[in-house]
Amino acid sequence: MMNRQTKRLSGRHLLWKGVAAAAAAALTLTGCSNSGTDGATTGTSGATEDTEIGVSLILKTTTNPFFVAMQKGAEEAAATQGVNLTVAAGREDGDEDTQIQAIENAISRGDAGILITPSGQAVEEALIKARDAGLYVIALDTPPSSPDAVDITFATDNFLAGQLIGEWTASALDGGDAVIAMLDLFDDKVVSVDYARDQGFLTGMGIDVADPEVNGDEAKTGSYSGGNYTIVGNQATQGAEDGGRTAMELLLAQNPDVNVVYTINEPAAYGAKAALDAAGKTDVLIVSVDGGCAGVDGVASGVIGATSQQYPLKMAELGVAAIADLVRTGTTPDVTEGLTFFNTGVALVTDKPANGVESIDTAAGSAICWG
């Protein structure tokens, strides 16, 4: 009999085989030869399979399992594609200075392209400089605020990811009052992944948002799709477990009746759970986004009610392949129809499905999780 880890790896291989094939087909079908945007490399004349291709992968951090998985996907793709991969990362989520230095280094090395999970708007000027220098720049996971900063983004539909957990939460409450704690990413910078998930969650709950690109400006009380709600407040977590615990402690101090916790990611969710346990609160719905193996295990054990699973390995694999194809064939990827980015997919993972909300269970989520 296979143990759980063996089942997970076997299932991941079978499911990802289909995912990878579909993604590769999508890139091939949407590619267009020599159609890069201004400042972007559009292929190297006379390039062959032996042409040395330098690619920089610049992550927000290497402590979050999401970015660890992304690095693994990039390294595996680089080995397959014959790409010389350089990896750099911020010291913590939000460290823009280290990312900017890594961009400067990629330009100096003469890399063909950059894959980056941008830590904030300050990075974007350096990315524009890289594009002007002829590097092809792909954002992973986090679309930049300026469309000129990158050539294309490979990412989850983060608004949809938030919307799915919001719809699930509204159904799970079954008309009861919602006293909501919002555990976001930052409070000192604006990053699209932060507001997209936050605002998607509220929209899924049926709560009117004010400015869809601003966290925390919606009405603090009102009606959601199933009943009445109170938003206790928004606290930044830096996407980390200790940040999640501190944020949850602060919001519980404001209102100990919290019964719904939205978290930007699963490390923050585990931190929130620790604070709730310390306060003796057990009957609280926690929802999140990421779908790493630890997060799926959290859903299976009941720590997290539902999470929206995204696929960082896929983002990185496709990014490396896209730059290699660009150099060798002059082919560039295109965005997903109807979107402004290439959609790498999302699935709601829960063992308590809600009517009208498409989801997969933790067995399926475990087979394709990461980390």
CA–CA dist 311, 314 (Å, integer)? 5
- Edge to edge, the sheet with strand 83-89 lists 83-89, 53-59, 113-116, 136-140, 152-155, 342-343
SS3 108: helix
Domains of the chain: 31-155+314-334 (3.40.50.2300), 158-309+349-367 (3.40.50.2300)
**Whole-Å CA distances, 344 to 19, 20, 363:** 10, 10, 21
For residue 47, what pLDDT is reported?
57
Strand order in the sheet with 285-290: 221-223, 228-236, 178-184, 260-263, 285-290, 306-309, 347-349
Instruction: Collapse the DSSP code of 308 into the 3-class scheme (helix H, G, I; strand E, B; otherwise coil) and give the result.
Output: strand
Single-letter code of the amino acid located at 172: A
> How do residues 279-314 score in pLDDT, each as one tens digit?
999 999 999 999 999 999 999 999 999 999 999 999
How do beta strands 306-309 and 347-349 pair?
Answer: antiparallel
Q: Which residues pair with 113 in a beta bridge?
A: 55, 136
What's the mean per-residue pLDDT of the chain?
89
Q: Are 135 and 108 in contact (CB under 8 A)?
A: no
Beta bridge partners, 229, equal: 178, 222
C-alpha span between 112 and 82 (Å, rounded): 13
What percentage of the chain has pLDDT greater than the value 90?
A: 83
pLDDT for res 363: 98
Q: How confident is the model at residue 12 (pLDDT cuts 50, 70, 90)?
A: very low
Confidence at 160, pLDDT banded by 50, 70, 90: very high
Rg from Cα positions in the chain: 21
If you search the block for the tokens 């919290």, which residue do you land on?
A: 258
